[in-house]
Amino acid sequence: MHWNPLKRTPLKPKPREHRESMPWRRAKIRLNGSEMMELRQSAFARSGGRCENSITAKGDRCPVHINWAQFHLAHIESRGRGGSDTLDNVLACCPDCHFEDTRNRHKLLPHRDWIATP
Ligand SMILES: [Zn+2]
């Protein structure tokens, strides 16, 4: 009997496993301007007026007080690396902490008592 290539059973696609090492595969949440303002308000309310970043690897909270006019809403995992615009991926922080993060000197790390979505 001849083998008919047209009658081969079709190849089943392998189920694609979710790989955490490929952040760009994860669904990203992107907000528009007014939604971003709401996120900013939520993060500021959560912060209680204090920078949410930590200044040590142990998670000691940055002591700087922040106010609505000057605080920075910083992404823990940056948008460029696939981070979402969600409350659990942003910190309300002081400009200095955000600057240290963008300069890669001290990456953002939520302080140890931080609760992402209170
Ligand atoms: Zn700070």
Q: Is residue 40 part of a domain?
A: yes
Half-sphere exposure of residue 37: CA atoms within 13 angstroms, side-chain side? 3
Return the H-helix or E-strand segment holding 47.
helix 33-47
Q: How confident is the model at residue 27 (pLDDT cuts 50, 70, 90)?
A: confident
Q: Is residue 95 within 8 Å of residue 78, measured between CB atoms? A: no
Q: Is residue 23 part of a domain?
A: no
Give the structural domain span for 87.
31-118
Q: Is residue 93 part of a domain?
A: yes
The pLDDT value recorded for residue 39 is: 97
Q: Which residue has the tokens 């006019």?
A: 69
Q: Ligand 1 center to residue 64 CA distance, Å? A: 5
pLDDT in tens, 96-110: 999 999 999 999 999
Tell me the Cα Rg of the chain.
21
Q: Ligand 1 center to residue 23 CA distance, Å? A: 26
Looking at every residue in the chain, the average pLDDT score rounds to: 89
Q: Ligand 1 center to residue 111 CA distance, Å? A: 10
Q: Is residue 61 part of a domain?
A: yes
Type of residue found at 37: M
Q: Ligand 1 center to residue 4 CA distance, Å? A: 69
CATH code for position 101: 1.10.30
Q: Is residue 6 part of a domain?
A: no
The pLDDT value recorded for residue 16 is: 67
Q: Is residue 3 part of a domain?
A: no
Give the total number of structural domains in the chain: 1
pLDDT in tens, 37-72: 999 999 999 999 999 999 999 999 999 999 999 999
The pLDDT value recorded for residue 33 is: 94
Q: Is residue 2 part of a domain?
A: no
What's the predicted TM-score (pTM) here?
0.76
The pLDDT value recorded for residue 82 is: 86
Q: Is residue 86 part of a domain?
A: yes
Strand-pairing partners, residue 74, are: 91
**Per-chain residues with Cβ under 5 A from ion ligand 1:** 51, 53, 62, 64, 93-94, 97
Q: Is residue 93 within 8 Å of residue 102, measured between CB atoms? A: no
The pLDDT value recorded for residue 118 is: 78
Type of residue found at 66: I
Q: Ligand 1 center to residue 83 CA distance, Å? A: 20
Q: Ligand 1 center to residue 34 CA distance, Å? A: 25
